[in-house]
């Protein structure tokens, strides 16, 4: 008797958000358990594949981490196609980066209107700035999961990618607690 290999479903997910918020660092921490203090400016896109175990089986994520600097916009749009879910990443120590999330959402929805989204507040290890517009964002984007992470210490990173895998694969999400403030 031969046993058929079980094929693991593959989902494309995007990490988007302003330059320097820590998208590459989050992907690196999740895939390689590494963190670098020095700047690793992404030119265009970085890409990694990693298996994630969910309660009812394995999925594979292809993680596309795009360059956040404004001048890469045209390049970024060409990478959004086919993505199932996106993490909108901002920097908890910079309120501007949260205020730009609406623009990021519009940019990806122009290419993939049905993309599932979550919001990630990164750099939790640094001092927080207040984010006055966070309540308004979540009133508009109800039922969007929110997690806080540190790519430096690893806090919240597994939780973030597990949520992203659940969103991408259409698993039903547990109710998500939202604080409405950071």
What's the Cα-to-Cα distance from 176 to each of 24, 30, 144, 179, 180, rounded to whole Å?
25, 22, 8, 10, 12
150 versus 169: smaller Cβ distance to ligand GTP: 150
Q: Which does 69 bind (CB under 5 to 8 A by kind): ligand GTP, Mg ion, none?
A: ligand GTP
24 near Mg ion, rule: CB under 5 A: yes
**Which of 23, 76, 116, 166 is close enough to bind ligand GTP by CB under 6 A?**
23
30 versus 169: smaller Cβ distance to ligand GTP: 30
**Which of 94, 150, 162, 169 is close enough to bind ligand GTP by CB under 6 A?**
150
Q: Is 1 exposed, middle or buried (0-12, 13-18, 19+ CB in 10 A)?
A: exposed
Cβ 115 to ligand GTP, closest distance in Å? 19
Cβ-based neighbours of 71, under 8 Å, separated by 6 or more: none
For every residue of 81-143, which 3-state class applies, written as one string? CCCCEEEEEEECCCHHHHHCHHHHHHHHHHHCCCCEEEEEEECCCCCCCCCCCHHHHHHHCCC
102 versus 125: smaller Cβ distance to ligand GTP: 125
Q: How many residues lie near ligand GTP (CB under 6 A)?
A: 24
Q: Which of residues 71-110 bind ligand GTP (CB under 6 A)?
A: none
**Rg of the chain over CA atoms, in angstroms?**
16
Cβ 13 to ligand GTP, closest distance in Å? 15
What distance in Å separates the CA atoms of residue 164 and residue 86, rounded to the nearest whole number? 7
User: Which residues of the chain form contacts with ligand GTP (CB under 6 A)?
Assistant: 19-25, 36-42, 67-69, 122-123, 125-126, 150-152
User: Which residues of the chain form contacts with Mg ion (CB under 5 A)?
Assistant: 23-24, 42
């Amino acid at each position: 008797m031969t046993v058929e290999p079980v094929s693991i479903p593959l989902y494309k997910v995007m990490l988007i958000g302003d330059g320097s918020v820590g998208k590459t660092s989050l992907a690196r921490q999740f895939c390689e358990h590494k963190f670098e203090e020095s700047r690793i400016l992404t030119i265009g896109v970085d890409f990694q594949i990693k298996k994630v175990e969910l309660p009812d089986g394995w999925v594979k994520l292809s993680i596309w981490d795009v360059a956040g600097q404004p001048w890469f916009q045209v390049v970024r749009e060409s990478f959004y196609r086919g993505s199932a879910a996106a993490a909108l990443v901002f920097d908890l120590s910079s309120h501007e980066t949260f205020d730009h999330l609406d623009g990021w959402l519009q940019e990806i929805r122009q290419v993939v209107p049905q993309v599932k989204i979550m919001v990630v507040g990164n750099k939790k290890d640094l001092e927080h700035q207040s984010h006055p517009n966070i309540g308004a964002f979540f009133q508009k984007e109800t039922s969007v999961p929110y997690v806080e992470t540190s790519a430096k210490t690893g806090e919240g990173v597994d939780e973030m990618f597990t949520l992203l895998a659940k969103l991408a694969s259409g698993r039903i999400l547990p109710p998500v607690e939202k604080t409405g403030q950071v």
